[in-house]
Amino acid sequence: MALAHSLLAALALGPASGYDLSKVFDSGMSDFWRASSQQIYTELHKLDDRGLIEGTLQQQSNRPQKRVYVLTDAGRTALHEFTRTAPRRPVIRDEMMVKLYAVDSADVEAVIEDLSARAAEAHSRVQQLRQLVAIFRADKSHEEFLSSGGPIGPYLTCLLGIAHELDNAKVCAWIAEVLRAREDGSDEPPPRDPINFGI
Amino acid sequence: MALAHSLLAALALGPASGYDLSKVFDSGMSDFWRASSQQIYTELHKLDDRGLIEGTLQQQSNRPQKRVYVLTDAGRTALHEFTRTAPRRPVIRDEMMVKLYAVDSADVEAVIEDLSARAAEAHSRVQQLRQLVAIFRADKSHEEFLSSGGPIGPYLTCLLGIAHELDNAKVCAWIAEVLRAREDGSDEPPPRDPINFGI
DNA sequence: CAAGTCATGTAAACAGTTACATGATTGT
DNA sequence: ACAATCATGTAACTGTTTACATGACTTG
C-alpha cells in the first residue's frame, strides 16, 4: 500500500493534480519508486473515497480542466503514522542483473552493450538530477538550504538518487570493461577495481 | 516474465530443486531479484509444462523427497535468446525512500532509526556477500578466477551486490547523520559529504 | 521436546502492466 | 497538418504477496 503513501507524501508538499504527481514519479522520486499514470489516477480516486485527500475540479483557460487534490487532516495523520511504521524490504527487480548472472550461457556482446548503455543512462540521469537539485537549492549552499526551514525531503531523496546513479554508472562500466577484456582474450592488464571490494 | 528467466539462469549452472533455487534468490541474487518459494514452485511447474526444464522426483535417505530440475535444450535456447533482448527498466520500490521524501511531515526520529538500521543491515549483508565471493573464488585471485574457465556470472553479480550494499550503507549513514545534526539543532559542523555530489 | 531446516504445494487477495479510449491546446 | 504536451480515465491480464496446509528429519 505504499503507492498510496507516496501520493500522500507528494501531496503533503502542496496541492497537485494526477498529472503533476505522475511527473514526480518520473523525476525526483523515480530512482526509488515509480508509478504509471493509470495507477496514480486509480489510487487517487481510492484515497479520495477514503477521505485522505480531497479533489476539486478546476477549469483552466487554454488547458483541459484538471482535478486538484489536497491532503486532508486524516491524510496528514495517515502519512505521519506511515513514517512511524518499519519500512518493508525494498523490492528490486533488475533484468540486466539476471542477464549478468546468466552471462556464461549468454550472448556476451549483448550483455556488454546493456552494461555500457546502463552506465550511459545513469550518467545522463545524474545530469538531470543535478539540475533538479540546483532548482531545489536555488542560490543557497547545502548547509544554508538544510537550515532554511523549507521541505528537505525531496532534496535529500534527490541526492540519494544521484549517489545511486553514480554507483550504478561506475560498476556497470567496470563490469563491461572486465567482460570486454575477457572477450578480447588479450594480455592487456585487466581493468582496475574502482570500487574497492578488496578483490 | 523474467522470473522464469532467472530460474533458467540458475538452472544453467546445474540441476537444482525448488528449495535450492529459493536460496539463490535469498543469497547471491537477492540484491537484484527476489522471489518467494511459492512463486518459484508455481513457476517451475509452468516451465516444466512448457518443456524448458525437466523435473524428476528423487528419493533421499534421511530427507524428504525432492524434485530436481534440469535445463532442457529448449530451455538453454530460451535463456540465450533472453540475453539478446533489451532488459526492461529495473523495478525499484523502496518504502524507506518514501519515508525520507515525506520527512518534513514525518516522525523524524523514526526515519533516522530506519536509515541507521538500513546502514547496519547493508554492512552485515556485505560480510555475507564477501563470504560468498570467497567461496566462489576458493584460493584464486580475481584475475585467476576470471580466466579459470568456470562460470563467472554469479561471481560478478555478487560483486555488484557488494558495491550496491556499500553504497547503500554509506549514503544511509550519512543522511541519518544529517538529520540527526538537524534534530539536535546544535552548531556542530554538519557532517561532510562522503559521496562527492559537488554539494 | 522444541526449534530449525528441509521440502513442496494451493488459493485468495492485491498490486501492477498493457491495451484501449478520448480530447484540448501549443508550437513547428 | 503533425507532434508534443496537457489531462483523465476503464478493462483485461499478469505477476506478486499473504495466508493456508502438510510433513520428515536434525540438533540442542
All structural domains of chain B with their residue ranges:
2-82, 95-184
* Mutation target vs A (from B31, B95, B158; most A CBs, 10 A cutoff): B95
| For testing contact with chain A, the best of B30, B73, B97 (most A CBs within 10 A) | B97
Give contacts of B 43-62 with A, CB under 8 A. Answer: none
What is residue B65's predicted lDDT score, i.e. its pLDDT? 87
Judge: B152–A104 Cβ closer than 8 Å, yes or no.
yes
B1 contact A CB<8A:
no
What pLDDT score does B61 carry?
Answer: 77
Residue A196 has pLDDT above 90, yes or no: no
The pLDDT value recorded for residue B196 is 77
* Bases in strand D with any atom closer than 7 Å to a protein CB: 6-11, 14-20, 23-26
Q: pLDDT band at residue A186, thresholds of 50, 70 and 90?
A: confident
Confidence of residue A35 (pLDDT cuts 50, 70, 90): very high
* Contact criterion met (CB below 8 Å) for B28 and A122: no
The C-alpha atoms of residue B42 and residue B38 are separated, in whole angstroms, by 6
- Select from B94, B103, B178 the Cβ nearest to the Cβ of A32: B94
d(CA B121, CA A125): 27
Instruction: Over range B7-31, report the average pLDDT.
Output: 96
In chain A, residues 76-115 whose CB comes closer than 8 Å to chain B = 76, 79-80, 82-84, 86-107, 110-111, 114
How far is residue B80's CA from residue B84's CA, in Å, rounded to a whole number? 7
Residue with cell 545524474: A126
Check whether B186 has a pLDDT greater than 80: no
pTM for the model: 0.94
Q: What is the mean pLDDT of chain B?
A: 93
Residue corresponding to grid cell 481510492: A46
* Low-confidence winner among A24-38, A121-135, B54-68, B96-110 (lowest mean pLDDT): B54-68
The percentage of chain B sitting over the pLDDT mark of 90, rounded to a whole number, equals: 83
CATH of domain A2-82: 1.10.10.10
Contact: B90, A96; criterion CB under 8 Å:
yes
HEC string of A72-134?
CHHHHHHHHHHCCCCCCCCEEECHHHHHHHCHHHCCHHHHHHHHHHHHHHHHHHHHHHHHHHH
pLDDT at position A149 is 86
